[in-house]
Amino acid sequence: MLKVLLERRSIRKYKEKKVEEEKIKQILAAGKVAPSGKNKKPWEFVVIENKEILKKLSMVKPKGGLFLAESPTCIAVVGNEEISDTWVEDCSIASTFIQLEACNQGLGSCWVQMKNRFTKDGGDAEEIVKEILEISDNKRVLCIISIGYPDQKIFAYKEENYL
């Protein structure tokens, strides 16, 4: 497991190659088995592969999310604060599990924060994403995670620096 932790880096450039359905299933399964407060699992994962929707999402936060338009797959991590008051923490852990499994599958990923973030015009980024993805008002969008085959090389952390 330490190998995956050392190898996982934020990747923002992807090859034009579709991520296989089986890999997406494994990645989603990793998110679903993440621990949560009182095992309430207050999350939903929205898989996005539609290029028009990805383009719209990329414009919500142009400074930090432009690369979403070129991502083959993204997963929006949605929490339900009516199920758990620890939805932020629970969804954060699930998001981390998603990214670690993506790395384990030979894929790159990058977290784009939406909760408490703003558009270039000062609008609420989370609310815009909810509109684009047609997410109900009682749910929250923590982040969008891009996933794909890396088209950039970022070297792994060196184990000796952490032991």
Q: Render each residue's pLDDT in the chain as its tens digit; 163 residues.
A: 899 999 999 999 999 999 999 999 999 999 999 999 999 999 999 999 999 999 999 999 988 999 999 999 999 999 999 999 999 999 999 999 999 999 999 999 999 999 999 999 999 999 999 999 999 999 999 999 999 999 999 999 999 998 8
Domains delineated in the chain: 2-152 (3.40.109.10)
Please give the Cα distance from 110 to 53 (Å, whole number). Answer: 18
Structure tokens at 90: 């629970």
The model carries a pTM of 0.97
> What is the structure's pLDDT at 17?
97
Contacts of 85 (CB under 8 A, 6+ apart): 37
Query: With the CA atoms of 128, 129, 133 and 137 taken in that order, what torsion angle do they form, in degrees rounded to the nearest 10?
Result: -70
> What is the structure's pLDDT at 61?
94
> What is the structure's pLDDT at 62?
85
CA nearest 43: which of 73, 81, 100, 74?
Answer: 81
